[in-house]
Amino acid sequence: MMTVYDWAQIRQRYLDGESISSLATEFNITRNTARKYAKSDSAPSYSPRPAPETLLQDHVDYIRGRLAAHPLKATRIAKEIRKRGYSGSYSTVQRFVSPITRNRAVKAEIRYETPPGFQTQIDWIDLGKQSQEGLPPHLYCFTAVLGYSRYAYAEFTDNVRTDTLLQCHLNMFDYFGGRTESCLYDNMKSVVLHRALKGQDSQYNPQFEDFSQFHGFAIRLCRPGIEGARTKGKVERFIQFAEGDFIVGQDIESLNDGNMKLREWLCEANNRIHRTTNAVPAERLKEEGLAPLDRARPYVVYYQEGHRIHNDCMVEYGCSWYSAPHQHAGKRCQTRERFGRLEIVLEGEVIAKHELAPRGSKIKGEGHFDGLYAQKRKENLERHQKRIHSTQLAKAARRPVMPEVQVRELAYYEAFAGGNN
């Protein structure tokens, strides 16, 4: 297609005396085409070609009507018109439907702003498996944003267990200097076990519900699906900002190293001018009016699992083995992990405490095996004596039984021998 600029160049240079052959060579066209445009007094014009007849022609009005009424996909449209006699390909339907759906008006949204001290939005970032030495096998990031001020908190973790979520909440409350009236979550199992149509009818995780009641904040749940993501848009937007401004491409050597660098970045992020509020989150934090925590009776967070004390007096936890007093071998117990320590609990009583050890370790507590060896020696001796006694009885049972012989005086036998003639 010849542009107006190229035509003007050819026309002017031809009038200046340049040959048709040189113009054709330079513009990569034939000499006849060069001669045509060189001698033309008007710029070339083109009219669109008429659309070719397609197998879709008889279904165009139906498709437009369906798309005007409902936001249907091309696959659904193709299925419907095939029932009406369409025999063409799916790609033809897709090419026709795509510009119509692309130009459809976007549904307008109303930004929901919360008053000071009303809501905190909370979510996890799954950073996937890690192969770097020093990092946990799987890395996560807890994120929280105050709805009014946009003041944010984040923390790297190696799991998303309920006890970890509770500890992250305590760290978040300490970082914020208090709590809001409510916290908004998606439908994570550590918060809600069964999501009902109405949030208040849902079945909450008992441990998390106890935590929320202890601290006096209400649990709010997002709507399921894509609509739910819009419900907690403030924390979703913070996650995008954190990933782009800090997380992606950040070199961290360990979990502690990552959290130290994350704290430094949070200080910068909370002191920037927020684009939505046009204010500094750290300054608006003063207007939140957060409820203080009860420091006199802190909430104790621990991770508890059910286990069995094996016959060798060891309990398996985290791919390591920890001892318990030998008197409880074979019994069911619970393990509690808290602040890098492991507690073994039996019927509400802590019977053993250990420092968490690397995977594959075998830790024996002091005094857990006292008296066990003497007891085993005594039991072995008793079993040995019983075994000897049983052997003696068995030998006695195998001896032949001799006939009973009557005992008489010697004079009786002399009478038979003829001694008294």
When comparing pLDDT for 393 and 278, which is higher? 278
**Residue 281 in tokens:** 């989150």
- Cα-flanking dihedrals φ and ψ of residue 351, to 5°? -105, -10
Report pLDDT for 105. 58
DSSP H or E segment with residue 9? helix 4-15
pLDDT band with cut points at 50, 70 and 90 for residue 303: confident
When comparing pLDDT for 404 and 144, which is higher? 144
Tens-place pLDDT, residues 89-111 = 999 999 999 888 877 656 666 77
CA distances from 210 to 198, 205, 301, 348, 396 (A): 20, 9, 11, 19, 71
Report pLDDT for 225. 64
When comparing pLDDT for 286 and 418, which is higher? 286
* Residue position matching structure tokens 């200080």: 267
When comparing pLDDT for 49 and 375, which is higher? 375
The residues near 66 (Cβ < 8 Å, ≥ 6 apart) are 72, 77, 80
Kindly state whether residues 128 and 219 are assigned to the same domain.
yes
| Range of lowest pLDDT (188-197, 241-250, 391-400) | 391-400
**Is residue 72 predicted with pLDDT exceeding 90?**
no
Say what percent of the chain tops pLDDT 90: 39
For residue 296, is it within any domain? no
Are the C-beta atoms of residues 368 and 313 closer than 8 Å to each other? yes
Residue 342's DSSP bridge partners are 337, 354
**Is residue 419 predicted with pLDDT exceeding 60?**
no
Tell me how many domains the chain contains. Answer: 4
Report pLDDT for 52. 61
Which is nearest to 338 in space by CA: 307, 303, 363, 365? 303
Q: What is the β-pairing status of strands 192-194 and 320-323?
A: unpaired
Kindly state whether residues 168 and 248 are assigned to the same domain.
yes
- Let me know how many helices (H) and strands (E) the chain has, helices first: 14, 14
When comparing pLDDT for 57 and 228, which is higher? 57
For residue 78, is it within any domain? yes
For residue 410, is it within any domain? no
Kindly state whether residues 129 and 68 are assigned to the same domain.
no
48-57 CB contacts, 8 Å cutoff, 24+ apart:
54/88, 54/92, 55/86, 55/87, 55/88, 55/92, 56/81, 56/86, 56/88, 56/92, 56/93, 56/96
**Residue 149 in tokens:** 């001020």
In terms of Cβ atoms closer than 10 Å to its own Cβ (0-12, 13-18, 19+), residue 68 is exposed
Kindly state whether residues 30 and 63 are assigned to the same domain.
no
Kindly state whether residues 234 and 343 are assigned to the same domain.
no
**Residue 278 in tokens:** 């046009």
**Is residue 415 predicted with pLDDT exceeding 80?**
no
pTM over 0.85: no
Report pLDDT for 227. 63
Alpha-carbon gap, residue 95 to 97, rounded angstroms: 6
Alpha-carbon gap, residue 343 to 23, rounded angstroms: 91
Question: What one-letter code names the amino acid at 80?
Answer: E
Mean residue pLDDT across the chain? 87
Kindly state whether residues 179 and 92 are assigned to the same domain.
no
DSSP state of 327: G
**Is residue 301 predicted with pLDDT exceeding 90?**
no
For residue 126, is it within any domain? yes
**Is residue 421 predicted with pLDDT exceeding 60?**
no
Kindly state whether residues 206 and 349 are assigned to the same domain.
no
Kindly state whether residues 216 and 268 are assigned to the same domain.
yes
**Is residue 178 predicted with pLDDT exceeding 90?**
yes
For residue 307, is it within any domain? yes
**Is residue 406 predicted with pLDDT exceeding 80?**
no
**Is residue 50 predicted with pLDDT exceeding 60?**
yes
Helix (H, G, I), strand (E, B) or coil at 203: strand
Q: What is the mean pLDDT of residues 361-365?
A: 90
Question: What one-letter code names the amino acid at 219?
Answer: I
Kindly state whether residues 157 and 26 are assigned to the same domain.
no
pLDDT band with cut points at 50, 70 and 90 for residue 63: very high
Question: What one-letter code names the amino acid at 206?
Answer: P
Report pLDDT for 124. 95
**Is residue 145 predicted with pLDDT exceeding 90?**
yes
**Is residue 369 predicted with pLDDT exceeding 70?**
yes
Q: For 214-308, list the strands marked E by DSSP.
A: 218-221, 303-308
Kindly state whether residues 178 and 238 are assigned to the same domain.
yes
Q: What is the mean pLDDT of residues 74-84?
A: 92
For residue 418, is it within any domain? no
DSSP state of 359: T
Report pLDDT for 26. 87
Kindly state whether residues 143 and 180 are assigned to the same domain.
yes
Kindly state whether residues 265 and 155 are assigned to the same domain.
yes
Q: In terms of residue numbers, what domain contains 78?
A: 57-102
CA distances from 93 to 55, 85, 100, 126 (A): 10, 14, 11, 38
